Structure 1
């Protein structure tokens, strides 16, 4: 998926066995260091300028650690938990900053909609639930059993009924569905 989106260097932290927590209450800085070393192997010795931190609790400490001195950690979600923990020495002593981001202002939202309408960017859902399965959707999100974004069909019996330009949708269907069945 990442390569399809243009990424050159990818680390699958699960496949490479990174465990940033020794147990539920104890982070593992040795794993942060191992992770940072792997990043530098892939980037020719460079640390990361900007980390877009989405998982939250599970990875936040590692994200603060691996960001370069003077770099930025942008948090935009907390899929694995919103109580983020990190070693503040790696933030303040290295002059890093954490910024929160919750999508966009009015102008940016307008521009995003324009780009979606032009087929330049694609609103993706990893799973769509029927109205009858709303409880399961809420449970899956609450328990972090989902990947990415989920949707619930409220006034439609099936997907695609609001599509006005079927030709454009067909052209971009692979991109729209890239996160399905992950």
Structure 2
């Protein structure tokens, strides 16, 4: 059954969605590779993992700001469906912000300065190896949780497309026909 068509997302929203999704997948892969890859490559993989993570965090912040502005321009009534979607998105955004922040805090509690694309982010506090170990575990668990939530998000979009036969997925596809 087809539901009434909703407007497609604007190009910036679509671009940010897919760039962030690719960045998250790439960062996750780099995190696994830095742990399991050849010892000679680990530092380079870690540096790339950190840089991609910070870029993803910046893009998520931009996406949240853009989305907040769009909500203000076109408020929609809250139904059970929209409430569930908003709750799921809020959880997804919370973890997208938490994972890179935990990564930064982990490095800083190890006493390391973080260099991202040539910009140095010095550690704001002294090293604390015990705390760094706890934060490392949280960073890893949150990263796994983010991948799980992203998978559920994708499954929900596919469910909308194939089971509910609505336009939820089509609205976010970069090459979907716009009427």
Confirm or deny a common fold (TM above 0.5): no
Length-normalised TM-score, structure 1 = 0.26
Name the structure where strand makes up a greater proportion of residues.
1
Bigger RCO of structures 1 and 2 (CA < 8 A, at least 6 apart): 2
